Amino acid sequence: MASQNILLLPGDGIGPEVSAAAERIIEWFSANGSTKFETERDLVGGCAYDAHGEAISEAAVEKAFAADAILLGAVGGPKWDKVPYDKRPEAGLLRLRKDLDLFANLRPAICYPALAKASSLKQELIEGLDILILRELTGGTYFGEPKEIVTLENGEKRAVDTQVYTTGEIARIARMAFELARTRSGKVTSMEKHNVMRSGVLWKEVVTNVYETEGFGDVRLEHMLADAGGMQLVRNPKQFDVIVTDNLFGDLLSDVAAMLTGSLGMLPSASLGLPDAATGKRKSLYEPVHGSAPDIAGKGVANPIAMIASFGMCMRYSFGLVEEADMLDRAIAGALGSGARTGDIADGGNAMGTTEMTDAIIAELVKLG
Ligand code: NAD
């Protein structure tokens, strides 16, 4: 039986609660599926700072390099508001993204039928929605130099962030977009601002070049200005399949797309690196989009679906277990369809806790299995 090694980094706040839920799902698939999952665990975020004085220890980083995939809960909380900037909880997560070169951030926006009424958009606009935002994660405005605030001679201050992309950085995310689209409905929409930004001109040129010269003729490519893309996402989101865009626009557009479908507690994500030349395996980190939710931490009421669906993405994108991943998606839809709701998605009335929601998903897996 194939075996895969997963590093669990539960983190802070509700992180350990939703990680425990995901671990039950991992155990279920390990016992009932085609692959055995071995799990190891370590600290990241505020809890790592408390234990080691750093947001992630060297030993944990080593484990991250050795693992077949990483599953992270959430980091941060008011307890660590005053720790030095380079040791703040988020520094552990950023270090992992950077050291493992996780340049591609995948954020699906899927509308579960049972929650279609809960969206802020009209039901018919989002019923059946299934789009994937692919955001470049290690370049662009958030990392470009210079990045500074300087005081001018007249006493005013001047702040600079730099939007910078190389051909190679754009080409690798474009390639991934076309490859992902092949496994879906076969359409890529590339979003940038070539009308006002030089980086947008290069982005459009490189995406087109990869498309035309690397044999992606079976996929459809369209270009859209990122501001128009934001408007189209709320006007007619079902026109999209895969949207590929840079770090800054991706940050904004993926939040818009994500919230079309309901609560933060529902949204998984994946961050992927390039495949290893020898083994073909990618470095990968899966995590819910939400944070550590200090307001509900320790109460046993967090929605575990984002974390559980993150494990689903792990099966799909790191281990190629597409049938198992589809089965888990159906189990989540089934649990919601049978009325299971945590407080964040409840329509008033009887909300259940983290454990009960996980029980409901496992019950659906048993039915499907
Ligand atoms: P948050 O996502 O933690 O919470 C926002 C709101 O959504 C809260 O009301 C929370 O109760 C609710 N919520 C979030 N996840 C939920 C779930 N699974 N079930 C039910 N309700 C849920 O964002 P925030 O409050 O802005 O940040 C709290 C802390 O988390 C901060 O320290 C922030 O820096 C950190 N954070 C970490 C990550 C990460 O680990 N990747 C991401 C975002 C924020």
The CATH number of the domain holding residue 183 is 3.40.718.10
**Closest residue CA from atom 30 of ligand 1:** 291
Q: Which of 72-76, 83-87, 170-174, 297-301 has the lowest mean pLDDT?
A: 83-87
Domain boundary, last residue among 200, 224, 259: 259
Residue 133 CB less than 6 A away from ligand 1: no
d(CA 217, CA 214) in angstroms, rounded, equals 9
247 and 137 inside one domain: yes
Strand order in the sheet with 268-275: 35-41, 2-11, 69-74, 282-288, 268-275, 104-110, 130-136, 242-245, 187-192, 220-225
Domain count, the chain: 2
Domain that holds residue 150: 130-259
Residue 265 CB less than 6 A away from ligand 1: yes
> What pLDDT is attached to residue 156?
98
186 and 240 inside one domain: yes
The 10s digit of each residue's pLDDT in 12-61 is 999 999 999 999 999 999 999 999 999 999 999 999 999 999 999 999 99
Res 194 pLDDT > 80: yes
> What pLDDT is attached to residue 112?
87
Domain boundary, last residue among 232, 259, 286: 259
**What does the pLDDT average to over 197-202?**
98
Res 256 pLDDT > 90: no
The helix/strand/coil state of 162 is: strand
Catalytic residues: 142, 193, 227, 251, 255
In a domain, 306, yes or no: yes
135 and 215 inside one domain: yes
Residue 289 CB less than 6 A away from ligand 1: no
92 and 69 inside one domain: yes
The 10s digit of each residue's pLDDT in 284-317 is 999 999 999 999 999 999 999 999 999 999 999 9
368 and 302 inside one domain: yes
**What does the pLDDT average to over 50-76?**
97
In a domain, 206, yes or no: yes
Domain boundary, last residue among 237, 259, 281: 259
**What does the pLDDT average to over 189-201?**
98
Place of tokens 């983190």: 11
> What pLDDT is attached to residue 259?
79
pLDDT class of 116 with cuts at 50, 70, 90: confident
In a domain, 232, yes or no: yes
Select, from the ranges 151-155, 265-269, 343-347, the one with the highest average predicted confidence (pLDDT): 151-155
Whether omega before 146 lies within 30 degrees of 0, making that bond cis, reads yes
